Amino acid sequence: MKTLHCPNCGTPFVRATYQEGMMERVLNQLNVFPFRCQLCMNRFRAFNREARRSTPAFDRRQYKRLPTSIEAQFLADNRMQATNRITDISMDGCTLQTTGLPRGTFLGIVLKPNQQEEAIRIETAMVCSVRPSSVGVRFLEVPLPDQRRLSQVVLGLLVSQGHHPVSNA
């Protein structure tokens, strides 16, 4: 089987995503499915016999969350909060270990993957879910240079955690 690659950046780390509209429902019957690149965020369609079985109906995320432990600081209500940990991350969001942030809160985040790398700035993010000791955050505005550095972090996690590319049947 041939591995499916993103037509934009060429990476094999793509994920079947949800369908949008009637045209994609029709194309699904012909085994043409929508995919999302996990690195450059490109959405595209491709022929794939396996996509229907490989994407759980309950999983609405377009990006795979990858377990990690990254130091992060965030700015909420115009004041810097304490240093916290990100426990999982994707190109679209993360889980931040913190409490006291209600759903709908906008914040800025600064990630420090390690001491050698430059910090990654998320200009605007929003709290989408609240749990007892953490919040789920969606990234809304990420400057392009920071988006590129974030994609390198995500690529490193994909490779180190042994995630397999999607094969194109």
Domain that holds residue 37: 2-62
Q: How many domains does the chain have?
A: 2
> Which of 62, 79, 101 is at the close of a domain?
62
pLDDT at res. 69: 94
Residues of the chain with confidence (pLDDT) below 50? 58
CB neighbourhood size of 86 (10 A): 22
42 assigned to some structural domain: yes
**What is the token pair recorded at 117?**
């790398």
> How far lies 66's CA from each of 3, 30, 87, 119, 167, in Å?
21, 31, 8, 19, 20
Taken in order 117, 115, 162, 127, the sign of the CA dihedral is negative
Task: State how far the Cα of 160 lies from the Cα of 33, in Å rounded to an integer.
Answer: 27
pLDDT at res. 164: 67
Q: Answer yes or no: do 41 and 72 share one domain.
A: no
Closest alpha carbon to 166 in 24, 35, 22: 35
Q: Answer yes or no: do 42 and 94 share one domain.
A: no
Q: Residue 41: which region, alpha, beta or left (left: phi > 0; alpha: psi -120 to 50)?
A: left
164 assigned to some structural domain: no
pLDDT at res. 25: 79
Q: Answer yes or no: do 95 and 153 share one domain.
A: yes
pLDDT at res. 76: 77
Q: What's the pTM value of the predicted model, to 2 decimals?
A: 0.77
Q: Answer yes or no: do 88 and 23 share one domain.
A: no
Contact (CB, 8 A) for 97 and 85: yes
pLDDT at res. 58: 44
pLDDT at res. 8: 93
pLDDT at res. 115: 75
